[in-house]
Chain A
Amino acid sequence: AQSVAQPEDQVNVAEGNPLTVKCTYSVSGNPYLFWYVQYPNRGLQFLLKYITGDNLVKGSYGFEAEFNKSQTSFHLKKPSALVSDSALYFCAVRDSGAGSYQLTFGKGTKLSVIP
């Protein structure tokens, strides 16, 4: 079975500081990994994905994520946080060897960027 863990319910960071939102996963095959963002009263928006290749993936709004196979992690990062980055962030995984197309989401991490 595939699973995702986001160990922090909330992350607070000062505007202009770097931010990290953590994600670890468990799959039996190779992982396809995704980050989504949810702004208040909105649906989820795709940020970035890792399928194969370079471990550092760049996405929308200046976000990037680093795939680490040995630590089974896919942490989301941004060098300089903006107040407008405040939102709920979800990590998701799909097991490439599972034979289904089911995405499993983490429980979400609320990011608050303090002015």
Chain B
Amino acid sequence: EAQVTQNPRYLITVTGKKLTVTCSQNMNHEYMSWYRQDPGLGLRQIYYSMNVEVTDKGDVPEGYKVSRKEKRNFPLILESPSPNQTSLYFCASSWVPRGQGGGNEQFFGPGTRLTVL
């Protein structure tokens, strides 16, 4: 089954304790992205990656790191989490379109609900 998986699904942690949220896709997609969803703000992009070893900042990258060492995995790292990073996080992936075919939809993971105390 084609899917994007995230782990853990739920996480409660304390301020300053480093954590990693994993994301993996089995569709051989080049593009992967992390979003956070907050009430009244919709989805905001944190980081994205166009391919292995190629990452770039989204709209709200502060306090986050990512890496893309393998095509299927795109972990999100919070080196020193703070309470304002309490949120619902989604990983997504898609093909990178060629030429004018720019409309490839993104496939989303089930989400990770993070609480930072």
Interface residues of A (CB under 8 A from B): 32, 34, 36, 41-46, 49-52, 90, 94, 96, 100-108
Closest to A44 in B: B108
Q: How far is the CA of A94 from the CA of B33 in the complex (A)?
A: 14
Min Cβ gap A108→B in Å is: 5
Question: Which residues of B7-55 have CB atoms within 8 Å of chain A's CB atoms?
Answer: 31, 33, 35, 40-45, 48, 50
Q: How far is the CA of A87 from the CA of B50 in the complex (A)?
A: 30
Q: 23 interchain pairs (CB within 8 A)?
A: A42-B111, A43-B108, A43-B111, A44-B43, A44-B108, A49-B105, A51-B103, A90-B43, A94-B102, A94-B103, A96-B100, A100-B56, A101-B31, A101-B96, A101-B102, A102-B45, A102-B48, A103-B45, A104-B45, A105-B35, A105-B43, A107-B41, A108-B42
| B110 close to A103 (CB less than 8 A) | no
Chain B residues within 8 Å of chain A by Cβ, number: 28
| B64 close to A (CB within 8 Å) | no
| B106 close to A103 (CB less than 8 A) | yes
Instruction: Give 5 nearest A-B pairs by CB, closest first.
Output: A51-B103, A107-B42, A43-B108, A105-B43, A46-B105
Interface residues of B (CB under 8 A from A): 4, 31, 33, 35, 40-45, 48, 50, 56, 58, 90, 92, 96, 100-103, 105-111
Which residues of B sit under 8 angstroms from A50, Cβ to Cβ?
103
| A45 close to B40 (CB less than 8 A) | no
Which residues of A sit under 8 angstroms from B48, Cβ to Cβ?
101-102
| A45 close to B43 (CB less than 8 A) | no
Specify which of B40, B42, B103, B111 is in contact with A105 (CB 8 Å cutoff): B42
| B45 close to A106 (CB less than 8 A) | no
| B105 close to A107 (CB less than 8 A) | no
Closest to A96 in B: B102
Q: How far is the CA of A104 from the CA of B60 in the complex (A)?
A: 12
